[in-house]
């Protein structure tokens, strides 16, 4: 995850120089269009294989064949959608960009089965290697395409190239998958029954990730949409990487111990506290440093994106809890609850983005979407804890100990920087912000030591022994 994040940071710095604000608006519109085929691209086949890993050998061939058919159908549907959305957003370039993305869908669909196969074996070293390899291929090709003038085509081309290369690597290293492409009526409905909730949740999940772009693309001009997308991605990259790490690591672990209630509760709580601690530290850094860093790196080009990034970072420690809730519910096979929460998330982000954008433009949209993302975590996490048989007072204690210390410290950082005022010189501004971030992190660690010492013990076992 750290390697991927470093590559992401370098990529965004370079792309911020190479690409125009309008190009980022095209990225946002393309991302919104892909939400309509998310259920085809990632149907949940991998999740079902992991959740039902004891039956892997008997169900893998049918589910893999189904994934191939869904990927092909998704490619066809995306091309049809591209015709309408390129006209609706008055972006003719979207049609060929989405046509390239359509070719990618079947490869991503099948590649998810390879990842599931490694997850079932708990082969996290292999998963990490392939994930890092994919990320490296993607970002290298993305920067190459952008530098050669591909503009809005950059992401689509990089995604296709990386997906195809990874598919070849999987075949050479892991071998061909066992596939059943011929279904009887009974076997088809059996597979469909196993996937119906994951397909629906995957489809809805696409809108939880892109619903704001879909709505704001109709409210904002290209510049405003580009600024919003750029600022959102400054923080969202962390969320995507953490969500991927949570899904690939914790989903198979939780699924393997799903019948041992006490052990599952301990593992869930330990993982949740660790993730909350790490995400809070990262976001304190973003809140403190991003304004000066963005201004310094791009000489003011992306300054309108700063507020968006800070707003998203402020509620991110709550948002990441939704990812923890997801893996807990999926490990227990609670697909219906998972889908209902996703439905709220998808509808909520579109409504909040629409109201915020209509009422307050770019700033209003950032505040509204950040608020919604925090509320989602506050709703989803208690549902997951109750599904794992935690008591209500345990849910309350978790939020008080693990999440609440972040917010007063982050608010103080913002207020202190406003009181301090501007520092002369670009380098001095960044160094001053870094110093504030370091101080805030030290205070946060100190508060955690007083209120929830065992979390620090996960990193330094001696602390728990002394306690």
Instruction: Give the pLDDT confidence of 35-67 residue by residue, as tens digits.
Output: 888 878 776 777 777 777 777 777 788 888 888
Q: In the prediction, which pLDDT does 2 show?
A: 66
State the Cα–Cα distance between residues 55 and 45, nearest whole angstrom. Answer: 13
Question: Which residues in the chain show pLDDT less than 50?
Answer: none
Q: In the prediction, which pLDDT does 227 show?
A: 96
CA 51 to chain centre: 21
Task: State the angle between helix axes of 185-219 and 222-256 in degrees (0 to 180), rounded to the nearest 10.
Answer: 150
Minimal CA–CA distance to 399: which of 371, 380, 373, 372? 380
Q: In the prediction, which pLDDT does 238 show?
A: 67
User: Residue 400 gets which letter from DSSP?
Assistant: I
The residues near 406 (Cβ < 8 Å, ≥ 6 apart) are 280, 283, 284, 317, 444
User: Residue 401 gets which letter from DSSP?
Assistant: I
**For residue 456, what are its two tokens?**
């620090």
State the Cα–Cα distance between residues 231 and 7, nearest whole angstrom. Answer: 17
Number of H helices, E strands in the chain: 18, 0
**For residue 466, what are its two tokens?**
């002394």
Contact 208, 325 (CB under 8 A): no
Minimal CA–CA distance to 324: which of 266, 269, 386? 269
Contact 43, 199 (CB under 8 A): yes
Report field, pTM of the whole predicted structure over 0.85 = yes
State the Cα–Cα distance between residues 147 and 14, nearest whole angstrom. Answer: 9
Q: In the prediction, which pLDDT does 441 show?
A: 95
State the Cα–Cα distance between residues 343 and 137, nearest whole angstrom. Answer: 33
State the Cα–Cα distance between residues 12 and 362, nearest whole angstrom. Answer: 21
User: Residue 176 gets which letter from DSSP?
Assistant: P
**For residue 85, what are its two tokens?**
């959305």
Label residues 352-373 b or e (16+ Cβ within 10 Å = b). Answer: bbbebbeeeebebbbbbbbbbb
């Amino acid at each position: 995850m750290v390697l991927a994040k470093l590559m992401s940071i370098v990529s965004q710095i370079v792309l911020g120089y190479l690409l125009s604000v309008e190009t980022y608006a095209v990225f946002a519109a393309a991302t919104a269009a892909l939400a309509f085929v998310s259920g085809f691209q990632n149907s949940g086949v991998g999740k079902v294989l992991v959740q039902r890993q004891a039956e892997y050998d008997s169900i893998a061939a049918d589910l893999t064949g189904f994934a191939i058919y869904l990927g092909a159908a998704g490619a066809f549907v995306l091309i049809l959608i591209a015709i309408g959305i390129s006209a609706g957003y008055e972006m003719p370039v979207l049609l060929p960009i989405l046509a390239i993305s359509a070719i990618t869908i079947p490869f991503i669909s099948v590649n998810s089965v390879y990842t599931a196969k490694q997850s079932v074996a708990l082969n996290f070293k292999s998963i990490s290697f392939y994930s890092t390899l994919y990320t490296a291929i993607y970002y290298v090709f993305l920067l190459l395409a952008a530098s050669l003038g591909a503009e809005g085509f950059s992401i689509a081309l990089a995604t296709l190239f990386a997906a195809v290369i990874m598919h070849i690597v999987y075949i050479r290293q892991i071998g061909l998958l066992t596939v059943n492409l011929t279904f009887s009526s009974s076997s088809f409905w059996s597979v469909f029954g196993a996937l119906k909730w994951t397909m629906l949740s995957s489809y809805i999940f696409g809108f939880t990730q892109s619903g704001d772009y879909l709505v704001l693309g109709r409210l904002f001009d290209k510049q405003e949409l580009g600024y919003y997308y750029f600022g959102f991605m400054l923080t969202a990259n962390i969320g995507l990487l953490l969500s991927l790490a949570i899904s690939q690591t914790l989903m198979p672990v939780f699924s393997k111990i799903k019948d041992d209630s006490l052990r599952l509760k301990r593992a869930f709580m330990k993982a949740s506290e660790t993730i909350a601690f790490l995400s809070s530290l990262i976001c304190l850094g973003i809140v403190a440093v991003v304004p000066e860093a963005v201004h310094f790196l791009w000489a003011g080009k992306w300054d309108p994106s700063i507020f968006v990034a800070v707003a998203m970072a402020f509620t991110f420690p709550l948002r990441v809890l939704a990812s923890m809730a997801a893996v807990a519910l999926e490990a227990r096979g609670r697909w219906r609850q998972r889908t209902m929460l996703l439905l709220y998330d998808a509808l909520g982000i579109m409504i909040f983005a629409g109201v915020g954008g209509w009422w307050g433009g770019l700033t209003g949209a950032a505040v509204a979407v950040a608020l919604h993302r925090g509320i989602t975590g506050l709703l989803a996490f208690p549902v997951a804890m109750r599904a794992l048989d935690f008591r209500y007072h345990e849910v309350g204690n978790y939020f008080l100990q693990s999440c609440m210390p972040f917010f007063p410290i982050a608010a103080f950082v913002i207020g202190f920087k406003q009181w301090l005022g501007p520092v002369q010189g670009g380098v001095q501004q960044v160094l001053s912000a870094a110093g504030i971030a370091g101080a805030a992190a030290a205070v946060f660690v100190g508060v955690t030591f007083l209120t929830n010492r065992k979390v620090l013990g996960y990193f330094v076992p001696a602390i728990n022994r002394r306690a």
